[in-house]
Amino acid sequence: MKAIVQHRYGGPESLEVAEIDPPAVGPGDVLVRVRAAAVDAGVRHLMTGTPWLIRPVMGWRRPRQAVPGIDAAGVVEAVGAEVTDLRPGDAVAGGVRGAYAELCVARRKHWVRIPDGVSFEQAAAVPTSGATALLAVRDAARVTTGQRVLITGAGSGVGSYAVQLATAAGAVVTGVCRPQKVDLVRSLGADQVVGYEYLAGTRNRYDAVVDIAGNTDLRGLRRLVTPKGVAVLVGGEGKGGLFGGFDRQLRALFVSPFVSARLKPLTVVTWAADVEHLLALVAQGRLRPVIDRTFGLGEVADALAATWTGAAAGKVLITM
């Protein structure tokens, strides 16, 4: 089968298209023929091996998982002997490893059925970014009706979902984004859309701030929230090093007990139940996956480069 492979840590230049053997299917596994896969920040960390703290798990000198990609949607090709509720031909999606290939395999618990009316591209755009936004808005910030919520990176993959979920929860949402994404963020339901210069000058305070990819330092976040508010830190800023930009999350853990506003670093886990819930919202027309561009399997390096500039509005996808 054709796949994107990586034999050393690095950026898009470290990838190549290769013919490799299909993955083996264990008793509890599901083998899926990939129709679409997503690009996100998590792929970058796994490809570059940063922060270095992940290397004991991911591989010291090179990735143990040679095929990158962590979100996929496609058609079941085969199932293991212990899998009884899926069969070849079923449409599924999930947060899985090795998504940038014609075939990928994962345990049954990682796959969910794609509802009728949801395309493979829409389904692939949901798992990691959608689940991250859901955890930030529902679990970490606990957004409720009438709250004032500020979301930075509102036009990104995670941010586009966060705006919609906070709006659906009844919040008054202010989205922060680049100028070229203003119309998009407004169309997703934001009550107000502002640029990043707003963060330094505003005296407004919010019940919750969802800060995506390290747009604001801790002092700035504390200034943006009410005394009993919460700031959710999604992702990290900076490059390389031991912490790879995630030192801000560690500082937040230390500082939070000593200040009135809560600082909550977000640890992302893509639970199948959350993906299933989000796909149901997509099928009902209550959640819109925003897809900026699609690339072919041989264009993964270009897709990654386009995503890492931060210019993409919503998600960038790989289609087979």
Q: Write out pLDDT tens, residues 84-99.
A: 999 999 999 999 999 9
Tell me what percent of the chain is helix, strand and coil, each rounded to the nearest 5.
35, 30, 40
**CATH domain 2-125+289-319 topology:** Quinone Oxidoreductase; Chain A, domain 1 (3.90.180)
Give pLDDT, residue 255. 57
> What confidence tier does 240 reach under pLDDT thresholds 50, 70, 90?
very low
**Residue among 136, 130, 156 at smallest CA distance from 273:** 130
Give pLDDT, residue 60. 57
Residue 242 pLDDT greater than 50, yes or no: no
Query: 57 in the Ramachandran plot: left (φ > 0), alpha (ψ -120 to 50) or beta?
Result: alpha
Phi, psi for 36 (deg, rounded to 5): -155, 150
Give pLDDT, residue 10. 73
**Residue among 67, 132, 48 at smallest CA distance from 105:** 67
Residue type, 14: S
Q: Where are the domains of the chain?
A: 2-125+289-319, 129-265
Burial of 28-53, coded b for 16+ CB within 10 Å and e otherwise, reads: ebbbbbbbbbbbbbbbbbbbbbbbee
Question: What DSSP string describes 93-144?
Answer: EEE-S--SBSEEEEEGGGEEEPPTT--HHHHHTSHHHHHHHHIIIIIIS---
> Which tokens hold the place of 98?
């090795």
The correct answer on CATH 3.40.50.720 for the domain covering 129-265 is yes
CB of 125 within 8 A of CB of 289? yes
